[in-house]
């Protein structure tokens, strides 16, 4: 069973909230200042697993996480946790009554992006500045009462750092959820315990198409379609080796089996694709 669980900090980041809620008290939390540092720690055995954000319903993929996993540290996804996200605007208590005069919005880029409309409508002239996490921005604001900063973060962060929430639920769409992945160096089952019920099972593949062959994506998709393998996500990301070169991330709605998924992979390889299994895992919602 895992003991040391790493995530983005400092205390009260959404990543920390998801770890605390999902694993309870029986683990040791290790908080990192960046997502790559946390992923590296899982790769070199400093921690047992890393829990990192990978996708948000409003802003889409956390490219830093996906790219780092694909290009730098090939860990395996051994679980998925979905957390509802409520973003609030908070300020140092000394700014509580004139919060509309703030001239800087400080938070994680994904949090700011989830509230773009609200921020644009309310603070036409404020500058945006990105922090390493929502809670890092809250911690900074708590220590700099003389700066006119507004922070986008969670209620927990406001409590943790003694900030005043001046506008609640400022995310632009009410359905705001972030998907986190649990990463481990190898595909292992039953590594962790949680009180949450496994709601779904998934397999994630990374597929690189042969270059300059017409209709390959169509053939790739049909390898899944005729096997009735339901896909819950397909996304392309740049290979970073030249314009127009992409790989695809595909989520299949079932665990890796002995027949259907290996059959689809063999068919894709026969088409000239290269296929990598990123993980086969259970999905949970908090
Ligand atoms: O900054 C935090 O609190 C994080 O845990 C990071 C993160 C993200 O990267 O998406 C996590 C959840 C929210 O979507 C906003 C920020």
Which of 9, 12, 15 for a ligand 1 pocket mutation test, highest count of atoms within 8 Å of Cβ? 15
Residue percentage of the chain with pLDDT more than 70? 100
The helix/strand/coil state of 166 is strand
pLDDT digits (tens, 9 = 90+) for 158-176: 999 999 999 999 999 999 9
pLDDT value of position 101: 93
Closest atom, ligand 1, to C-alpha of 65: 9
Cα 273 to ligand 1 centroid, rounded to whole Å: 33
Q: Take residue 39 and report the two structure tokens written for it.
A: 């992923």
What domains can be seen in the chain, in order of their start residue?
4-85+176-184 (3.40.190.10), 88-167 (3.40.190.10), 200-280 (3.30.70.260)
- State ipTM: 0.97
Q: Say yes or no: CB of residue 111 within 6 Å of ligand 1.
A: yes
In this prediction, residues 77-87 reach a mean pLDDT of 98
pLDDT tens-place string over residues 222-272 = 999 999 999 999 999 988 888 878 899 999 999 999 999 999 999 999 999
Query: What pLDDT, on the 0 to 100 scale, is given for residue 138?
Result: 98
- Rounded to 5 degrees, what are φ and ψ at 131? -105, 170
pLDDT above 80 for 189: no
Residue 65 Cβ contacting ligand 1 at under 6 Å: no
Pick from 267, 89, 79: which is nearest to 164 by CA?
A: 89
Residue from 110, 139, 158 to probe ligand 1 pocket by mutation (most atoms less than 8 Å from CB): 110
Q: CA quadruple 160, 156, 94, 121: dihedral positive or negative?
A: positive
Closest CA to 204 of 128, 131, 255: 255
Please indicate whether residue 133, judged by its CB atom, sits closer than 6 Å to ligand 1. Answer: yes
Can you tell me which atom of ligand 1 is nearest the CA of 8?
A: 5
Residues in the chain: 286
* 178 within ligand 1 shell (Cβ under 6 A): yes
Q: Is 53 in the pocket of ligand 1 (CB under 6 A)?
A: yes
Three state DSSP letters for the chain:
CCCEEEEECCCCCHHHHHHHHHHCCCCEEEEECCHHHHHHHHHCCCCCEEEEEEEECCCEECHHHHHHHHHHCCCEEEEEEEEECCCEEEECHHHHHHHHHCCEEEECHHHHHHCHHHHHHHCCCCEEEECCCHHHHHHHHHHCCCCCEEEEECHHHHHHHCCEEEECCCCCCCCCEEEEEEEECCCCCCCCCCCCCCCEEEEEEEEECCCCCCCHHHHHHHHHHCCCCCEEEEEEEECCCCCCCEEEEEEECCCCCCCHHHHHHHHHHHCCCEEEEEEEEEEEEC
Cβ 107 under 6 angstroms from ligand 1: no
pTM for the structure as a whole: 0.95
Burial of 91 (0-12, 13-18, 19+ CB in 10 A): buried
Mean pLDDT of the chain: 95
Beta carbon of 135 within 6 Å of any ligand 1 atom? yes
From atom 14 of ligand 1, which residue's Cα is the shortest distance away? 178
DSSP H helical segments within the chain, as ranges? 14-23, 35-43, 63-67, 109-114, 116-122, 134-143, 155-161, 216-225, 260-270
CA of 130 to the centre of ligand 1 (A): 12
Distance 65 CA to ligand 1 centre (A): 11
**Is residue 212 predicted with pLDDT exceeding 90?**
no
Distance between CA 233 and CA 213 in Å, rounded? 23
Confirm or reject: Cβ of 16 under 6 Å from ligand 1: no
Task: Report whether pLDDT(121) > 90.
Answer: yes
| 54 contacts 7 by C-beta, under 8 angstroms | no
Is the pLDDT higher at 209 or at 12? Answer: 12
Whose CA is closest to 189, among 112, 265, 76? Answer: 76
Beta carbons within 10 angstroms of residue 20's beta carbon: 17
Query: How far apart are the CA of 200 and the centre of ligand 1, in A?
Result: 23
CA of 89 to the centre of ligand 1 (A): 15
């Amino acid at each position: 069973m895992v003991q040391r669980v790493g995530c983005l900090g400092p205390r009260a980041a959404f990543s920390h909230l998801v770890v605390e809620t999902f694993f309870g008290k029986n683990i040791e939390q290790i908080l990192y200042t960046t997502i790559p540092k946390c992923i590296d720690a899982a790769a070199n055995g400093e921690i047992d697993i890393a829990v990192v954000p990978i996708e948000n319903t409003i802003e889409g993929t956390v490219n830093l996480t996906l790219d780092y996993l694909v290009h730098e540290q090939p860990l395996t996804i051994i679980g998925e946790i979905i957390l509802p996200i409520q973003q609030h605007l908070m300020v140092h208590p000394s700014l509580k009554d004139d919060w509309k005069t703030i001239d800087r919005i400080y938070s994680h880029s994904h949090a700011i992006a989830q509230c773009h409309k609200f921020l644009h409508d309310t603070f036409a002239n404020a500058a945006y500045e990105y922090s390493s996490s929502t809670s890092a921005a809250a911690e900074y604001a708590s220590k700099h009462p003389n700066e006119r900063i507004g922070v986008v973060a969670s209620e927990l962060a406001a409590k943790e750092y003694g900030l005043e929430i001046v506008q609640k639920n400022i995310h632009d769409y009410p359905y705001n959820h972030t998907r986190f992945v649990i990463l481990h160096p190898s595909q292992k089952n039953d590594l962790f315990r949680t009180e949450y019920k496994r709601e779904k099972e998934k397999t994630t593949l990374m597929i690189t198409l042969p270059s300059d062959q017409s209709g390959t994506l169509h053939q790739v998709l049909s390898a899944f379609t005729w096997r009735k393998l339901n896909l819950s996500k397909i996304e392309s990301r740049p290979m970073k080796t030249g314009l127009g070169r992409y790989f695809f991330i595909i989520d299949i709605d079932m665990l890796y089996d002995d027949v259907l998924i290996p059959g689809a992979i063999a068919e894709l390889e026969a088409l000239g694709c290269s296929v990598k299994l990123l993980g086969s895992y259970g999905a949970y919602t908090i």
